[in-house]
Structure 1
Amino acid sequence: MAPPRSRRSPLGRLRGHHIGAYGLLALAALLFLVFSIIVPNTFPTLESISSILANQSIPAVLALGAMIPITTGKFDLSIGYGLGLAHVVVLWLILDDGWPWPLACLVVILGGAVVGALNGVIVEFGQIDSFIATLGTGSVLYAFTGWITGGARVVPGARGLPTAFTDIYDSKFLGLPVPAFYVLGLAVALWLILERLPLGRYLYVIGSNVRAAELVGIPTRKYSVYAFTGAGLVVGFAGVLLAAQQQIGNPSVGMDYLLPAFVGALLGCTAIKPGRANALGTLVAVAVLAIGLAGIGQLGAEFWTTPLFNGGTLLIAVGLAGYSARRQLRAGASATRRTSATTNGDPSENTP
């Protein structure tokens, strides 16, 4: 009889799971500690923390939006273009057409959902790869942005923007910037949807194995469209926040947010629930990026370090996400073999 194969103890597997799930959170804490030691006079202050929370709120919202289609194994590359169009349209409706700002914001957010649904229909019913389809629709959105603005910035006149509108970004609550609470609320809402509701479970099944999802009766196309619609809704909301922050419509600003959003969403696949996109993991990933960028900024790094940091982190994120997914598949296959061995009565497969 073949000698028993050595296996990791349950304690070792548990320790490995905790490292995989919470390693990124530990990295965020470590980065904060390191920068606090290196620049103690500026980094670990309430003013610095408030600045980080405010500056990274829009990338965080966009990363959470990008995460939604990723749960189904799809990507929405139009989110950057959609962000640019949304924030321009909000300002255009308020300044040029004189719309009440709440109505303008509502229309833009719902318009974002319509664009997202259109992306989903093109991908699922047109049977076009999500990379190509959303890149194409993104280019169309960018063309609309240029048409609306004439290629120029949307600048408030002497009357300016309503204070109540700009306060949705500039105000504070409990001493912290209000946008940080938007991010937290959105993350909790997405966590509840994805982890506690049937909709989220369907999206994860589709992302794991489309064929298996179809065999168990899940309408995969419909739920994939739902995922893109959710992403568009979040992008519309991010556009409203960007308009309140910038207070000037810049037709090309949206693309600056595309890479950080995907870095956060993909890096989030390696945390909390390793191997799959999840809201809390994305929140942790955004925290790592925010702390890292703020730290190197306070160290006086050159302007080119930001795209270098984002690009390098994206490569690491994709590699780690792929590794986590493969590890999860191997663990599932191993569990299946052990179950089969137990059923067949082979003791060598169950030796600890």
Structure 2
Amino acid sequence: MRATDAPDPRTLTNPPSTNGDSPPSDTPSSDTPPSDTQPSGAGVSGTGPTSADGGDLTRGAVRWHQFSSRYAIVGIWALMCVVYGALMPDSFLQADTFRNIFASQQALVFLALAAMLTFVVGEFDLSIASTLGLSATLVPVLAVLHGWNLALACVVAVLASSLAGLLNGILVVKVGVPALIVTLGSSTLLLGIASLVSHQTTVSGLSPSFADLSIRRFAGLPVNFYYGLVLALAIGYVLTFTPLGRHMAFVGANREVARLAGVAVDRIRIGAFVAGSTVAGIGGLLLVASVGGYDSTVSPTYLLPAFAATFLGTAVIRPGRFNPLGTLVAIYFLATGILGLQMLGSTGWIENVFYGTALIIAVSVSTIVRRRTSTT
């Protein structure tokens, strides 16, 4: 079973354009990424007024539609801040509120970007939250309980995360086991391993210098905020401007056509699992550095927010496509909504309700955008 057995990330990605008159070739044309917009003038020429003024109005309407479809959530985010500010002018409209929003989501940033890496190639990984938890658990267990060098413990934690992704990728791609079964099973397995090595306790006692790698402040925000921003920009660059990124989009759009075009489909799919798990493992390092210890049993709570932000990100900047900057915007949009509701007195249940609703709406919107794009 492939990712089509769950909400299919590949159906949210427009296939690369081909002329349909000849089969794909091994020429560089297979590297051409799908176009974000229609060809110049598409949907305008021959359908709008023939006068110059009328044509300008039509083109302006098209541009406004494109702009609003890309940045509607940013506008809703701004409106949300205005509403919360009007309701709570003395508490919400404070610099500390926004510092809290941008400083407290870094584990989710790394986890959502990890999920996105597999979604781009048409796969999904339900084990990334447990991978993050295993990494965050191994560092204090090895360094504090067993006296390992802290740097070595960090390396081992990330390598363990990468190995988990490699095993998932091999089982899914080479053996053909359904991704749902593999990643769900490995999620439970990794959670159990983390509980085993930590004896189901929260291990703390890491050095303060290690915490500085995550919580040292720059321009009012902890440095781990900038780690997430740099990671999102780096992934965005790879996906947009490199042959690897174009091949990943090609594989996610149409796996068999990509294979006929000479793309190393299996290698890219396995690599996406490894890259996603590695990113999740690094996120675990930053998480345990910022809090000083980690309770492995809370790992599953990170999965739903990560998936909600990743799918909601397809409605931002590049509608219908998984993209890291859209994911980043979605994370802080969701964080703002939840924090505002909590400040208004909604506690406990509101986070699950908000994230669950956001996931349903995000998948629905992405599906609508994909269908509209495929018919234009």
Q: TM-score, normalised by structure 1?
A: 0.88
Q: How far did 1:195 drift?
A: 0.8
The one-letter amino acid of 1:23's match is A
**TM-superposition CA deviations, 1:230-286 (whole Å, max 9, x none):** 101111011112212332231211111100000011111111111110011101111
Match of 1:274 among 309, 315, 319: 319
Q: Name the counterpart of 2:107.
A: 58
Q: How far did 1:5 drift?
A: 8.9
Matched, 1:184 2:229: yes
Match of 2:334 among 286, 289, 293: 289
What secondary structure is seen at the aligned counterpart in 2 of 1:44?
Answer: coil
Q: How far did 1:29 drift?
A: 1.8
The one-letter amino acid of 2:202's match is V
The one-letter amino acid of 1:190's match is I
Q: Name the counterpart of 2:37.
A: none
Matches of 1:61 and 1:32, distance apart in 2: 25
What secondary structure is seen at the aligned counterpart in 1 of 2:263?
Answer: coil
Structure 1 range deviating more: 109-118 or 133-142: 109-118
Q: Name the counterpart of 2:148.
A: 99
Q: 1:30-41 to 2 correspondence within 5 Å?
A: 30-41=79-90
The one-letter amino acid of 2:171's match is I
Matches of 2:136 and 2:94, distance apart in 1: 31
Matches of 1:68 and 1:10, distance apart in 2: 35
Match of 2:273 among 210, 225, 228: 228
Q: Name the counterpart of 1:73.
A: 122
The one-letter amino acid of 1:54's match is A
Determine if contact 1:81/1:139 at 8 Å carries over to the other structure: yes
Q: Name the counterpart of 1:154.
A: 202
Structure 1 range deviating more: 245-254 or 207-216: 245-254
The one-letter amino acid of 2:201's match is R
Matches of 1:67 and 1:170, distance apart in 2: 25
When residues 33 and 103 of structure 1 are mapped into structure 2, their CA distance, relative to the original with a 3 A threshold, is: farther
Matches of 1:64 and 1:24, distance apart in 2: 19
Q: Name the counterpart of 2:184.
A: 135
Determine if contact 1:170/1:177 at 8 Å carries over to the other structure: yes
Paired residues in the alignment total 324
Q: How far did 1:77 drift?
A: 0.4
Q: Name the counterpart of 1:20.
A: 69
Q: How far did 1:7 drift?
A: 6.7
Q: Name the counterpart of 1:173.
A: 218
Larger helix fraction of residues: 1
Match of 2:290 among 237, 242, 245: 245
Q: What are the ranges of 5 or more consecutive residues in structure 2 without an aligned counterpart? A: 1-44, 50-57
What secondary structure is seen at the aligned counterpart in 1 of 2:347?
Answer: coil
> Percent identity, aligned pairs only?
34
Determine if contact 1:262/1:314 at 8 Å carries over to the other structure: yes
Determine if contact 2:169/2:269 at 8 Å carries over to the other structure: yes
Determine if contact 2:315/2:326 at 8 Å carries over to the other structure: yes
Matches of 2:60 and 2:177, distance apart in 1: 45
Q: How far did 1:304 drift?
A: 0.3
Q: Name the counterpart of 1:45.
A: 94
Matches of 2:177 and 2:64, distance apart in 1: 42
Q: How far did 1:44 drift?
A: 2.4
Matches of 1:210 and 1:138, distance apart in 2: 26
Match of 2:356 among 311, 323, 326: 311
Matches of 1:146 and 1:51, distance apart in 2: 30
**TM-superposition CA deviations, 1:209-249 (whole Å, max 9, x none):** 11111121101110011111110111101111221233223
